[in-house]
Structure 1
Amino acid sequence: MGGQVDGFVDPRFRAVRDIFEESFADGQNLGAGLTVYANTRLVVDLWGGVADSRTGRRWERGTPCPTFSCTKAVTATAALQVAAKHRVDLYAPVTRWWPEYGCAGKEATTTADLLAHRAGLPAFDRPISAAEAADPAHMAGLLAAQTPVWEPGTRHGYHAQTFGWLAGELVRRHTDSTVGDYALRYLKAGLYIGADEAVRAETARTEFPHADQMAWDDIDPIPRETADRMAAAFRDRDSLTLRATANPLGRYNDPEVLAGGWPATGLVTTSDTLARFYRTLMQGRYLHPRYRMEATAEQVRGPDEVLLSESAFALGYMLPCENFIVPPAVPAGVFGHPGAGGALAFADPNSLLSFAFIPNLRRDWMAGDRRAYNLVESVYAAL
């Protein structure tokens, strides 16, 4: 059902195309885009398969697709750029620029805490509708009034949805702009955090494989006890894990969600646009190189209070860990962010390499999804 793969590869990267093509032939992919820049030069730009299985619409070079948590790196970059322009001290209390936040035990929370998932606000206290989620001022107000789950700065846990409105509030308060508007104006055209009607009409429709392909039976290298703990948490509607990841609850084929501009998970874009975003970030055009190095240095690593496994974060960017597994050939210093269902985008400053893979068939690592891993492995073998 995948169809023909189109696009360009540098001859040295022919094996990358072979692996990409095989992923359609064996049914691992429905539709997808893959782009790689090495030494700032385009070496892989491939796309193929089906953007919408209901109509048979093909995936074209310009087909955008939801990227889920790949969004967080864009939102973090916007927040860091604004912080640099407005001389925000990342290690000073958030109350210097967000006075209302200083209540309920959050008075000492720093901006770095917000960006490094240390804020202690990984979940909302009540269910949130898609309509509410489209109002960033309202969402920030809800978080400002909440009591943290843990003392800010003392532990870390994945702020799966709340990260966007916490980091995004820095952008909104200093620029009177949403993260989505700011990203289009100051970062890269084609980074849609809030997709308009025309973009939505071209957007790939996300799907899940059959239920028998979603069982967690291929968890390596994650320990079995970790996987069991995570599985139990996802079955428990009252767990912090489920409350953090499933509220607001939205289907990413829903026009209201795609238009809502959710700044932690709402990015709709192409693999080429996302890879070029990381290339530009490494070139020092978004952040001064010294500031970028500070922003991508490890802030936290270890047991995650929400994901119940190892996670590692810089200031908004995820670093290789159990939730961002990379092949052994990938050197230290890589930063980026995976997205639910198999998407992955990252930068490698050592190789001046940027990588983006965006599929619309939402598979799971612990159910055997190795699409991005295999592509990354083949890219590094070709360097």
Structure 2
Amino acid sequence: MVPLVHGHADPAFRSVREIFEASIADGQNLGAGVAVYLNGRAVLDLWGGIADAKTGRAWERDTLCVSFSSTKAVTATAALRVATEHGISVEKPVADWWPEYARADKDSTTLADFLTHSAGLPVLDRPVSAAEAAEPGLVAGLLAAQPPLWEPGTRHGYHALTYGWLLAEFIRRQSNSTVGGYVRRHLGPDLHIGVPATLLKKVARLTFPASDEQEWTGDPDPISLESVRRMAHAFRDPESLIMRATANPPAAYNNPEVLTGGWPATGLVTTARALACHYRDLLAGDLLPRAVLADAIRERVRGIDAVLGSTSAYGLGYALASENMIVPAAAHPTTFGHPGAGGSIGLADPHHRLAFAFIPNLRRDWLSGDRRAHRLLEAVYAAL
């Protein structure tokens, strides 16, 4: 019998492998990858299942998959690296390097506001196509002309898509590069924010579980019932901020135009191994100076997210433990990273020198009972 899961796990992490194997066998995962680095060493690198339910194509070692908002942490690293290279303070007004942005009561907005989802621009005022979204500078120009929904810096609310184009404009103006190009050159060649057309055949096809598995559970622990009520109301209202923030441009992530488009908030196409390596390299000081990273993972905002309706918390671009990034109790308070829609996550725990990533192609979420990454992480911490 052909094994469903391939790769290696150190003996101490055998239970993690067993949980991953069981999730493939029982259908909780269709196909997925998971990777763990401890003290800079790969202690677990597994992949398995089906990459494409339509063709039966197997998930292989180099199968790529969309990681959705796990992208945001990689884009944050790129922006912080550019700021460091050019000596630009994240607390200085954006208008210092983007004069056109100083319109419609946005002249005091800072790069830190972009990174903490505090800019007040979570939605686009006009429809944007996938082709326009791939045009460098176009979406940023639209955002520069918009008035903010709240005074920048006074509250935070998830900029699900616009986060990426705001930071992309900073990177473009300072380095004359797209986010995808900068990331491949400086952060890792296997981190594709805009996958090359030649690699499309290696990308896993996303799919959804059966409709009865998508219903929200009555016990969403550890998300509070109040947060569930707010989120449920928002997701049922097409005019809510979360729906407007995620529906424009239309995001069909099996569409080659989106996969190659380089959406810098949600378009990272990669392996769990490469995403975990990103966090390994951050911990090692290879991507950012240690002092810069320490400042970046310091909590800047926390509270009820104006867009999501749940509690979220951020450093400079990196999500911190909250209802929006749920981590096991054993995780250290300094843990940082970013989750993505459908179950993906990448994170680092500096105290334990741990880097972790999980990327599936069967899209579930916390409120429909998805605990796949959490179960794996719990087993990782139990093995330390």
TM-score range, shorter chain: over 0.9
The answer for the alignment partner of 1:152 in structure 2 is 152
The answer for the alignment partner of 1:349 in structure 2 is 350
RMSD: 1.0
Q: Displacement of 1:222 after TM fit? A: 1.6
1:277 is aligned to 2:278? yes
Q: Displacement of 1:224 after TM fit? A: 2.0
The answer for the alignment partner of 2:76 in structure 1 is 76
Cα offsets for 1:147-182 (capped at 9, x unmatched): 000000000000000000111111100111000000
The answer for the alignment partner of 2:189 in structure 1 is 189
Asked if structure 2 preserves the Cα contact closer than 8 Å seen for 1:3 and 1:50, the reply is no
Q: Displacement of 1:321 after TM fit? A: 0.3
Equivalences for residues 34-73 of structure 1 within 5 A: 34-73=34-73
Cα offsets for 1:103-160 (capped at 9, x unmatched): 1010101110111110000110122110110013111100000000000000000000
In the alignment, the residues of structure 1 paired with residue 184 and residue 166 of structure 2 have an alpha-carbon distance, to the nearest angstrom, of 19
The answer for the alignment partner of 1:142 in structure 2 is 142
In the alignment, the residues of structure 1 paired with residue 242 and residue 380 of structure 2 have an alpha-carbon distance, to the nearest angstrom, of 33
Cα offsets for 1:13-49 (capped at 9, x unmatched): 0000000011112210000000000111111100000
**Aligned amino acid, residue 59 of structure 2:** W
Asked if structure 1 preserves the Cα contact closer than 8 Å seen for 2:4 and 2:25, the reply is no
In the alignment, the residues of structure 1 paired with residue 227 and residue 288 of structure 2 have an alpha-carbon distance, to the nearest angstrom, of 37
Equivalent residue of 1:294, what SS? helix
**Aligned amino acid, residue 331 of structure 1:** H
In the alignment, the residues of structure 2 paired with residue 200 and residue 46 of structure 1 have an alpha-carbon distance, to the nearest angstrom, of 21
Equivalent residue of 1:358, what SS? strand
In the alignment, the residues of structure 1 paired with residue 302 and residue 98 of structure 2 have an alpha-carbon distance, to the nearest angstrom, of 27
**Aligned amino acid, residue 196 of structure 2:** D
In the alignment, the residues of structure 1 paired with residue 190 and residue 261 of structure 2 have an alpha-carbon distance, to the nearest angstrom, of 16
In the alignment, the residues of structure 2 paired with residue 104 and residue 319 of structure 1 have an alpha-carbon distance, to the nearest angstrom, of 31
In the alignment, the residues of structure 2 paired with residue 277 and residue 199 of structure 1 have an alpha-carbon distance, to the nearest angstrom, of 20
Stretch deviating more after TM superposition (228-237 or 302-311):
228-237
**Aligned amino acid, residue 104 of structure 2:** A
The answer for the alignment partner of 1:236 in structure 2 is 237
- Flag as ranges the 4+ runs of structure 1 deviating above 2 A: none
In the alignment, the residues of structure 2 paired with residue 10 and residue 134 of structure 1 have an alpha-carbon distance, to the nearest angstrom, of 41
The answer for the alignment partner of 1:122 in structure 2 is 122
The answer for the alignment partner of 2:366 in structure 1 is 365
Asked if structure 1 preserves the Cα contact closer than 8 Å seen for 2:40 and 2:353, the reply is yes
The answer for the alignment partner of 1:248 in structure 2 is 249
**Aligned amino acid, residue 63 of structure 2:** T
In the alignment, the residues of structure 2 paired with residue 309 and residue 53 of structure 1 have an alpha-carbon distance, to the nearest angstrom, of 33
The answer for the alignment partner of 1:332 in structure 2 is 333
**Aligned amino acid, residue 247 of structure 1:** N
**Aligned amino acid, residue 196 of structure 1:** P
Q: Displacement of 1:69 after TM fit? A: 0.3
1:306 is aligned to 2:307? yes
Q: Displacement of 1:196 after TM fit? A: 1.3
In the alignment, the residues of structure 2 paired with residue 243 and residue 182 of structure 1 have an alpha-carbon distance, to the nearest angstrom, of 29
Asked if structure 1 preserves the Cα contact closer than 8 Å seen for 2:171 and 2:178, the reply is yes
In the alignment, the residues of structure 2 paired with residue 77 and residue 221 of structure 1 have an alpha-carbon distance, to the nearest angstrom, of 29
Q: Displacement of 1:92 after TM fit? A: 1.1
1:223 is aligned to 2:221? no
Cα offsets for 1:231-267 (capped at 9, x unmatched): 1111111111110122111210000000100000000
Stretch deviating more after TM superposition (154-163 or 213-222):
213-222
Asked if structure 2 preserves the Cα contact closer than 8 Å seen for 1:219 and 1:368, the reply is yes
Asked if structure 2 preserves the Cα contact closer than 8 Å seen for 1:3 and 1:24, the reply is no
In the superposition, the TM-score normalised over structure 2's length comes to 0.98
Q: Displacement of 1:201 after TM fit? A: 1.0
In the alignment, the residues of structure 2 paired with residue 56 and residue 241 of structure 1 have an alpha-carbon distance, to the nearest angstrom, of 34
Equivalent residue of 2:320, what SS? coil
Stretch deviating more after TM superposition (260-269 or 235-244):
235-244
Structure 2 unaligned spans of 5+:
none
- How high is the sequence identity, in percent, across the aligned residues? 59
In the alignment, the residues of structure 2 paired with residue 56 and residue 210 of structure 1 have an alpha-carbon distance, to the nearest angstrom, of 18
The answer for the alignment partner of 1:202 in structure 2 is 202
In the alignment, the residues of structure 2 paired with residue 231 and residue 212 of structure 1 have an alpha-carbon distance, to the nearest angstrom, of 17
**Aligned amino acid, residue 213 of structure 1:** E
In the alignment, the residues of structure 1 paired with residue 322 and residue 364 of structure 2 have an alpha-carbon distance, to the nearest angstrom, of 19
In the alignment, the residues of structure 2 paired with residue 166 and residue 280 of structure 1 have an alpha-carbon distance, to the nearest angstrom, of 25
Q: Displacement of 1:3 after TM fit? A: 6.2
Cα offsets for 1:340-380 (capped at 9, x unmatched): 00001001111111000000000011110000000000000
In the superposition, the TM-score normalised over structure 1's length comes to 0.98
Asked if structure 1 preserves the Cα contact closer than 8 Å seen for 2:227 and 2:311, the reply is no
In the alignment, the residues of structure 1 paired with residue 366 and residue 190 of structure 2 have an alpha-carbon distance, to the nearest angstrom, of 28
Equivalent residue of 1:341, what SS? helix
The answer for the alignment partner of 1:318 in structure 2 is 319
